[in-house]
Amino acid sequence: MDPLARYDPIVADPEAFRAACERPLPSVVRVNGIKATPDRVARAFEAAGVGFEPVGWHDGLFRLADDVSPGNTWPFVHGWVYGQEEVSALPARVLDPDPGERVLDPCAAPGSKTTQLAALMDDEGLLVANDSNLGRLSALRANAERCGVTSVAVTNADARHLSLKSFGGSERRSEARRTTSDGVEPFDRALVDVPCSCEGTVRKNPDVLEEWSPSHVEGIAGVQRDILGRAVEVTRPGGTVVYSTCTFAPEENEAVLDDVIADHDCQLVEFDLDVEHVAGVAEWDGDRYDPSVRRAKRVYPHHNDTGGFFCAKLEVAA
């Protein structure tokens, strides 16, 4: 079974979609605002003879020349930049955390979105970066240290059953936060970038299609539902949760959202993306979802010459 062929009914231009999936993915770096500015990085790249060009929708992203590896540049070594796929930079911007807030990143390793969140928060507040895979925490810690992040608390737990007690920090908005029934001090925001079938990464990892199977999609969707549901439970009333994946599968995207908004006191809200995209799908393979799932955004590889991505924004009921 060709995993990509199953999406012909929901992709407006299947040929362009397939062709884009077969092209190599451009190499992109994100400027780490804790240590540098886009102008400073641009000057450093020019001085080092590194070929690059700015990404139009985000002044803190640079596409590198084909012969450049991000990890071999000295701005990378010094934590000025982070090698991050272009569309991977979207969900943190959608979450839009403020300095001083309590923010949860339940599936954090190896740290691309964690370090981006920290920079958006001016490295102020509390950023809990959790991952269930103990072996990946060393990469998360190393990347946070390289990028100069000091506001992060790294934890190792199953994100489906997070039971994080208070990590301290500011007591502002304490009345809005309160504590949950199991003693967790709620977060202001959560970025839920879950493990998935990774079809959207096919341009940099063609093997994902060979490893794809319907049973894996079905199994991982259950995990995703539990992680997103728990994130909603530990986010304060009126708080924001962003859900994202790098897969095209509605079973892992809209179906997960449909289940979570039915079982938890939250709703999907509108938001803007700075890149070309299409709305979420409300019907798939005989199933119908809550119409609000169309507020989610799908980014296909042929839209912006990127990987594939899915993103949705939820608000916890006040």
Q: Which domains does the chain have, with CATH numbers?
A: 87-316 (3.40.50.150)
* Helix (H), strand (E) at residue 77: helix 74-77
Q: What percent of the chain has pLDDT over 70?
A: 93
Q: Could you list the active site residues?
A: 246
Is residue 72 within 8 A of residue 290, CB to CB? The reply is no
Is residue 15 pLDDT above 50, yes or no?
yes
* pLDDT reported for residue 171: 40
Is residue 28 within 8 A of residue 64, CB to CB? The reply is yes
**CB neighbour list of residue 249: distance below 8 Å, 6 or more residues apart:** 196, 197, 199, 217, 221
Indicate the residue type of 253.
N
Q: What is the mean pLDDT of residues 184-208?
A: 94
Distance CA 114, CA 117 (A): 5
pLDDT-derived band at 2, boundaries 50, 70, 90: confident
Bridge partners (DSSP) of residue 267 are 315
Distance CA 251, CA 238 (A): 27
**0.85 exceeded by pTM:** yes
* pLDDT reported for residue 181: 65
Closest by CA position to 167, among listed 182, 150, 184 = 184
